[in-house]
Amino acid sequence: MTRRQALAVLAAGSITATAGCGALTSDDGSDGGNDPADQSGESEPASTDNGSDGGTGTESGAGEDGDGADESVGVSTWEPAAVGDRSAQLRGALTDLATDEDATCYFQYRPEGGDWAVTAGQIRSAPGEFAQGLPGLTPATVYEFRAVGDAGDASALGETRSFRTRAARDRSPLSTDGLTLFFDEGRTGREAVAEVPVENTGSSTVGRLTLAVTWYDDATEVLGTTTDRLHVLRPGETWLAQVTPREVDSAAVTSITAEATVEGEAPRGPAGLSVASSSLHAGEYPTELRGVVANTHGEDGGSVRPIARVFDEDRRVVGDSRTYAYDVPSGGQRRFVASFFRRTARRIRENFEHEVVLDRASR
């Protein structure tokens, strides 16, 4: 049995990502809450890389022993797109394919210093990016990984990179049952839409949810991953997320998987600050929720992050948007505006219910 055949056998038994808990992104809120990236449905794709920064790795055409470069095939290992406490998304690229044969691209990975395992292989007929979700990892553990490309008798290994999974978090169970793929007429034509009902089945409020949707073509090859976020979900509530691909051709999408993960704590409203009034305005783009925060604390300088939440007719969360209200004077008030963009904005109707949750803020 050749090395390529052996790896193919191993890859056939590896685990691929399915709906559950997994990939993450970060948000520092520095945009003031009015940027699309601070409200659900507007995050950038986790698997997109233009090659201009740390996302690209060192290319290699070397064989398994690291020397004896074979110029007929080359691969590059990229930084992982998202790392959680129990999952990560590995990324790489087929950089050279100077042969008539297709290349089988995959990843080798292991706990630092351990034995190598392999992911499922992906067939590539031309240079380009490939990615693989990696669930079932151990929290707070360093992992090593590298891209691999096999074409005929040639084999290439990319640079070995490493990442550390996050520490385990106490988190409420999230259910993503009912994952659906459909197509809709968007602003630029026919658009793939992943509808994911994310339910909080636990007994406590959770904050900073991240939903990662991975798009596949008819050969089950990864086209890319898009992330969406929500800032708060109470027990028994369902977030009906609708995610559309970014920099992925909707016409090529035939299947999806989704991973939902809790990344932060539930909002904690500061004492003495409250919402005096709020109103939803869905007639123009972007959709806005405007409100007023009052300070009854008796001290100047109270600051807060209002989180505007909108519900559909079935009381499912359509999305939320977070903004700032700075320096609310003692006995006074401060106005705020939370904006919704893109598909989330288009889903909201004037008669939808809403609420505002206050969270602590630091200037």
SS (H, E, C) the chain: CCHHHHHHHHHHCCCCCCCECCCCCCCCCCCCCCCHHHECCCCCECCCCCCCCCCCCCEECCCCCCCCCCCCEEEEEECCCCECCCCEEEEEEEEEECCCCCEEEEEEEEECCCCCEECCCEEECCCEEEEEEECCCCCCCEEEEEEEEEECCEEEECCCEEEECCCCCCCCCEECCCCEEEEEEECCEEEEEEEEEEEECCCCCEEEEEEEEEEECCCCCEEEEEEEEEEEECCCCEEEEEECCCCCCHHHCCEEEEEEEEEECCCCCCCCEEEEEEEEECCCCCEEEEEEEEECCCCCCEEEEEEEEEECCCCCEEEEEECCEEEECCCCEEEEEEEECHHHHHHCCCCCEEEEEEEECCC
More confident residue, 43 or 316: 316
**Residue-level pLDDT at 208:** 87
pLDDT at 302: 73
The model's pTM is 0.58
Q: What percent of the chain has pLDDT over 70?
A: 77
pLDDT at 63: 45
Higher pLDDT, 71 or 136: 136
Q: Which of 183-192, 230-239, 257-266 has the highest mean pLDDT?
A: 230-239
Same fold, 3-164 and 174-264: yes
Per CATH, the number for 273-360 is: 2.60.40.10
Our CA angle for 101, 81, 88, nearest 5°, is 90
Write down the pLDDT at residue 22: 33
State the chain's mean pLDDT as an integer. 80
Query: What is the per-residue pLDDT for 61?
Result: 52
**Where do the domains of the chain lie?**
3-164, 174-264, 273-360
The pLDDT value given to residue 301: 65
What topology does CATH give the domain 174-264? Immunoglobulin-like (2.60.40)
Query: Which CATH superfamily does the domain covering 3-164 fall into?
Result: Immunoglobulins (2.60.40.10)
- Judge whether residue 42 has pLDDT over 90: no
pLDDT in tens, 263-278: 878 898 888 899 999 9
